[in-house]
Structure 1
Amino acid sequence: MTSRAWAIAASIFGLATLGVFVAFNFLPDVAAVYAPGEAATYVSAFQRSTTLADLAQVFGDPADPAIIAAMDQLNTLDLYAFIPLYALFLIAAVFMLGGNAILKWLAVFAALIGAGGDFVETYQQLQLTADYQNAATHLPLIAPMHWLKYAGIGLNGILVSALCFTAERKRWVLGVVGLLTLPIVVAAYAGLVEPRAFTGAVALYWTTLLVVSIIAAVRAKGAPA
């Protein structure tokens, strides 16, 4: 495939990822419980839950069936649409950028680690809400997979930055933005910054990557990736 073909693929998958992200707020069960943009705070808290007390902060005590239904609807769309789409977006973008083959495949591997962690995390969340009376048995994997997800995405950002700085065609803005991801994830894991800091860093990275992909899809002349 040419670099332009990869750019077109990245643009399509990136826009689809963005569409699903927006759709999260308008799912019927979600809209019935949360105001637009409010669900993300509780989704993040659920993903980082390690105790029953953490779960009570998300679902209430006793758990509210409406909140469980909202989380199930979110996580089902996440599992079957959002995760596969963003994985394909990140992979296509890597090959669009070109550059060192080893760096490219390491960036792909990092993206797959992130998506794999996300898949396990989301699957476990669905298992938990389906068996809430035994929630403690489903908790142990959720938070670790949450951090593995962001570590993989953050590492992908670092490797994409390396491609941006070393490829024949330099992409300085994307390179700098990609560098922010992993350090902010590490800082959040260490408790030095709020969790919204790393979600913001990833959102900025993906948005910049999407803009670069769209520009490349429009302007590229079809040079081999």
Structure 2
Amino acid sequence: MDEDIEIINTQTRNEKIKNFFINNKNTLISILVIIILALIGYFSFEEYQSSKRKKLADKYDLAVIKYEADNKYNVIPDLKEVINAKDKTYSPLAFYFLLDNDLINSKDEINNYFDILINDIGLDKKFKELTIFKKGLYNSDFSDENELLAIFNPLIKADSIWKPHSLYIMAEYYLSKNQMQKSKEFFEQIVSLENNNSKIKTKAQKRLRSSFSE
């Protein structure tokens, strides 16, 4: 008797499963098609991205080879194209190659490329902060107080390894403008920092003794 009931239950369960698939056939087929298309799309995108990065790598490498062969100014358009592709690896390489070799001179253009690196390519925190610091360092010779503070504030207000360096540049900036009180305040911030860069702290202490001792 128990075996008969078990057989009936099994048959009923199988019938329910069969009916479920029959009644929902179109929905299940649609779901399967969507999954297949999503997988195809994902792998196609990955292949496209890989191909795109390979082309950027080749373009960057060829530009460097041309530059070393003394075709200096012919490489500029290609390197700018690599920067504007907004790739984590090759955009910074292309930008710093142009900058370090004095192939671009426009302050606006250089700052625009800094902004691309900082805001658009998804650098990790460490490299993003380094790029912000480099932008501030580049601008420190010609920008005004508000512009420099706007650049350095993300580092000054955060627990960044570049915080003491940024404070030091601002302190020196105020000192060069004879704004002694502001300069002193920034040097004192450096000295008071915990886990501070010892070299920067020592330089700040020397500045306080030499420029602000009564």
Give the structure-2-normalised TM-score: 0.25
Higher relative contact order (CA 8 A, sep 6+): 1
Which of these two proteins has the greater Rg computed from alpha carbons? 2
